Chains A and B, each alone.
Chain A
Amino acid sequence: MSATPDISRPGAPGGTPGSARSGIAIPEWVRSIRPGVALAGLVVAFFVVAMIVPSLLTGQDPYAVNLEQTLQSPSWSHIMGTDQSGRDLYARIVYGARESLLIGLGATALGMGVAIALGVLAGLGNKWVDGIISRGVEVMFAFPILLLALLFVAVFGPSVTTEIVAVGLGTAPGYARMVRGQVLAVRDSGYVEAARALGHPYGSIVRRHIFPNAMRPLVVVMTLGVGQSIVWASGIAFLGLGVPPPSPEWGALLNAGRNYITQAWWLEVMPGVAIVLFSLSLTTLGRHLQQRLEGGVNR
């Protein structure tokens, strides 16, 4: 990439002196990253690494019981303290990221998948198809996530799969409605009519125009969705319906930490901070993405 003066930056029609002087090609999308977004990216990256290669982030074994060191407050040897079995809390949070993120991603993917299927069908179909599917989505809405999760856990037992399915199906109707709305908006836009007037086959219009344009804003929603899914899955575990011990899944940590909150506050606060931080980071990134995708011009 050549070093083009960046005319897109506000108030700098000729490019900043800096960029012209250095001659290094910094892609515009990099330069658009504000410090907050960068920080958010780092946090997300941290947790993604935690999910894939947790041993990189901590040398401790999250399952190693040490009865001499129970309920230690944060110190240099255990930066987030230890729990009631002497396990290092930081290590448990890092390894817990794997389970929690897995559930969050899985649930969002499932929810989105179902939503896209329903939403596209409803948006493109005729009045009857739309009507029936919309009614079906209405019914799904009537089942709050936790209710659904309770039902599923009662029937299928608590496990990662159950949580993914419950949260996924619980969030699907919201996405479905969005998808349908997007598809409708695109379908009714003058652009599509024009394309059809030009004789393009319907199938290719769907594939090349309706679909991508309808989905683009959903990318943002998905990033937000992963955070929300993790929060809900943790809620299920918090009620004691989650993955069995000694899993360090974040919700399970919160469930266990509840009993020690007056004695060992870090057990309840730290996992919560992890969840909030992660969710916050995803929201930030999501909004940043939204900025980027909404307009070619980023301000």
Chain B
Amino acid sequence: MATYAEPAGGAAVGVKPRRAPWAKRIAWRILGAIFVLWAAATFVFFVQQLLPGSQATLILNQQTGNQQSYTAEQLAPTEAKYGLDQPVLTQYWDYIKGLSHGDLGNSYSQFKPVTEIIGEQVGPTLVLTITALIVAWILALGTILLTSRRRKSVSTLGSGWEIFSAGLPYYWLGVILLVVFSIELKIFPVQGGTSIEGLVLPALTLAIPLAGFIGQVTRDEFEKVLDQPFVTSARARGMGDLAVRLKHVLRHSVLPAITLSGWAMGALISGAVIVENVFARPGIGNMIVGAAEHRDVPLVSGVVMLVAFIYVISNILVDIAYAIVDPRLRG
């Protein structure tokens, strides 16, 4: 993090050294992050208190495959085991305490700690979403660089494609890609698992609509920047068109899209739920659907915490990226 330039001029004279305000910002960020995590945990805990029906009955039944109701005495051992007989606030306090130690509790539907379950499944989802984000960026930037402000037809095509692809629902695109490329043409495996070939279609399914969205936002900005005087002067100095686009324009125009990327991680995870479902891929997306279906409260809470955590980290990374890309903001 020691790559910041000297203070851009304009600050008051005789100010304190650069490092302090920067450290303070980081400290605030972390505090904010913790707040978000705590609030998310609290929300998801209390929402699930509203779940109808007896949790202990569900736990017993789903492990045994029965669909019967039990008497209070039959339920007592299960309730004791999972702490369900405690008052709500006690359960909440235990939960938060556990969270601070990194203990997410034990799953109701699998006989394992939640951290273990999530640990097994989070890898593929992260691989999928990050790959999708990268691919989306490449697609978006490629389209813009090549089609922005060129001949009318080319540029129209680029813009039109972005608009169209941004509106494609993940599930629809995924099913169509699956049937066409996996089942009919047999180019990619149907059951992707964790292989690279199995990653292509799911990542594309997530990336294409996102690329459309990023593309639209960046294109607007790109074209505005292309009009700026400093671009004209760069061109006057003899820089090639592509070079101008790459070196100067892109840098300024990607800022809104960088902001978008932070939000995009959250949206990608939502999309991952669907994509993992369509392509039968392992990951937390599939897992959370199952967890919600089984009302596995600790597991659902665990996934929510994980997603909140990813979101918070992404945002911090976005801030850093922002600061690096835009020299004007380092002040």
Contacts and interface: CB of A to CB of B under 8 A. Distances in A.
Chain A in direct contact with chain B (Cβ < 8 angstroms): yes
Output the residue of A136, A138, A258 with the most chain B CB within 10 A. A138
Interface string A207-237: 0000000000000000000010001101100
Interface string B175-194: 11001000100000000000
Contacts of A227: 167
A280 B163 contact: yes
Nearest to A255: B171
A231 B271 CA distance: 11
Nearest to A146: B270
A155 B169 contact: no
A235 B300 CA distance: 19
Contacts of A269: 176
A161 B170 CA distance: 23
A147 B179 contact: no
B36 A280 contact: no
Interface stretch (A66-74, A87-95, A271-279): A271-279
A145 interface: yes
Contacts of B288: 147, 150
Contacts of A272: 169, 172, 176
B40 A143 contact: yes
A150 B36 contact: no
A151 B274 contact: no
A89 to B, nearest CB: 15
A269 to B, nearest CB: 7
Interface string B246-268: 00000000000000000100110
Contacts of A152: 47
Contacts, number: 122
Contacts of A275: 169, 172
Contacts of A136: 39
A135 B39 CA distance: 9
Contacts of B164: 276, 280
A138 B168 CA distance: 27
A231 B167 contact: yes
Contacts of A279: 167
B243 interface: no
Contact of B267 (A144, A151, A262): A144
Interface residues of B, number: 46
A227 B169 CA distance: 10
B43 interface: yes
Given A139-B40, A258-B175, A276 B32 contact: no
B169 to A, nearest CB: 5
B266 A141 contact: yes
Contact of A138 (B36, B175, B183, B271): B36
Nearest to A144: B270
Given A153-B292, A154-B51, A142 B308 contact: yes
Given A135-B36, A151-B48, A268-B175, A145 B270 contact: yes
B289 A174 contact: no
Output the residue of B52, B169, B266 with the most chain A CB within 10 A. B169
A90 B43 CA distance: 42
Given A139-B36, A145-B270, A154 B167 contact: no
A145 B277 CA distance: 16
Output the residue of B44, B170, B171 with the most chain A CB within 10 A. B171
B47 A144 contact: no
A239 interface: yes
Contacts of A138: 32, 35-36
Interface string A143-180: 11111001111111000000000000000001000000
12 contacts: A142-B311, A144-B269, A146-B273, A147-B304, A155-B47, A155-B52, A231-B169, A254-B171, A261-B179, A268-B175, A276-B169, A283-B163
Interface of A: 135-136, 138-139, 141-147, 150-156, 174, 227, 231-232, 234-235, 238-239, 254, 258, 261-262, 265, 268-269, 272, 275-276, 279-280, 283-284
Interface of B: 32, 35-36, 39-40, 43-44, 47-48, 50-52, 163-164, 166-172, 175-176, 179, 183, 263, 266-267, 269-271, 273-274, 277, 288-289, 292-293, 295, 300, 303-304, 307-308, 311-312
